[in-house]
């Protein structure tokens, strides 16, 4: 019997990020999945052209993924789509935290109370990763499907999460450069710091057309039992409905929803 220690998920050279540690065929398959995840259905030729691969190569990848239900083909127009196995794998990520399950009824109640789309997101690097959404009944609405990424400094949830971070985190983000998306985006470090102070004082953040012209978002952080911001909840909609005179009331409702979720996750009362 070998006396060597059990490998716990990473070999000794796990920090090696060189090409020799990559499996090319697996890498290509993941590229195909990411491309199909853009949505809308794509033909074999479209996928091959976008990924700069031969149709024969992409066809082998697609048929292999199809056998495992990761993708499926629409017979009528011969377009490829994400399959049920992809959903199951993605759902495993959402189950890492109870926040998604707990937030769903709260988000639905928030949407019904405000009439606007409710969103849930977490921090992923310097961006917000949207995990869940409950859409409004209005035909014109904000749309952030699960998996969508948005910059921290130019989104309601992102700024809500940043407001709970250490000042050094905001400084590092500012030093990297704050990308401007509209004339309202906070690209000045001092302006972002002042916004953080306002968010902490009132308990909610406002994305006032900072990512997309004509859209507003009001968000608040959700805390865990250690008092750490692990997610954010928001409502978003067009500026003709989410008007300036509604922001305070919407902010209160979003803040209360976040407080309720934080308590449910065991956040200390002194941190909420």
CATH, residue 52: 1.10.10.10
Q: Which residues pair with 119 in a beta bridge?
A: 133, 234
| Domain final residue, candidates 83, 114, 134 | 83
Q: Is 136 found in the same domain as 107?
A: yes
Under a CB-based contact definition with an 8 Å cutoff, are residues 209 and 240 in contact? no
Please check the confidence at residue 6 and state whether its pLDDT lies above 50. no
The tokens for 110 are 């928030």
Section 189-200 average pLDDT: 96
Q: Is 143 found in the same domain as 66?
A: no
The count of structural domains within the chain is 2
Looking at residue 209, which CATH number applies to its domain? 3.30.450.40
Report yes or no on whether pTM surpasses 0.75. no
pLDDT in tens, 79-108: 999 998 887 787 666 665 578 888 999 999
Q: Is 102 found in the same domain as 216?
A: yes
Under a CB-based contact definition with an 8 Å cutoff, are residues 205 and 159 in contact? yes
The tokens for 6 are 């059990």
- Domain span at 48: 21-83
Q: Helix, strand, or coil here: 132?
A: strand
pLDDT in tens, 133-166: 999 988 776 777 788 899 999 999 999 999 999 9
Q: Is 58 found in the same domain as 151?
A: no
């Amino acid at each position: 019997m070998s006396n060597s220690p059990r490998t716990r998920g990473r070999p000794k050279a796990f920090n090696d990020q060189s090409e020799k540690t990559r499996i090319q065929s697996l890498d290509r398959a993941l590229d195909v999945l990411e491309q199909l995840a853009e949505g809308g259905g794509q033909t074999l030729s479209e996928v091959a052209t976008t990924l700069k691969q031969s149709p024969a190569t992409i066809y082998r990848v697609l048929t292999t993924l199809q056998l495992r239900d990761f993708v499926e083909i629409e017979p009528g127009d011969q377009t490829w789509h994400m399959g049920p196995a992809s959903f199951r794998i993605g759902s495993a990520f959402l189950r890492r935290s109870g926040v998604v399950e707990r937030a769903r009824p709260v988000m639905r109640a928030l949407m019904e109370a405000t009439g606007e789309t409710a969103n849930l997101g977490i921090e992923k690097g310097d961006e917000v990763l949207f995990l869940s959404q409950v859409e409004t009944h209005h035909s014109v609405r904000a749309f952030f499907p699960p998996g969508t990424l948005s910059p921290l400094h130019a989104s309601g949830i992102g700024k809500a999460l940043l407001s709970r971070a250490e000042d050094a985190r905001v400084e590092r983000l500012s030093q990297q450069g704050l990308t401007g998306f509209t004339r309202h985006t906070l690209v000045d470090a001092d302006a972002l710091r002042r916004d953080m102070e306002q968010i902490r004082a009132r308990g909610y953040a406002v994305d006032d057309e900072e990512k997309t012209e004509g859209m507003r978002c009001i968000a608040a952080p959700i805390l865990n039992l250690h008092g750490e911001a692990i997610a954010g909840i928001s409502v978003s909609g067009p500026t003709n409905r989410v008007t300036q005179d509604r922001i305070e009331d919407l902010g209160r409702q979003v803040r209360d929803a976040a407080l309720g979720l934080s308590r449910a996750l065991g956040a200390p009362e002194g941190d909420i």
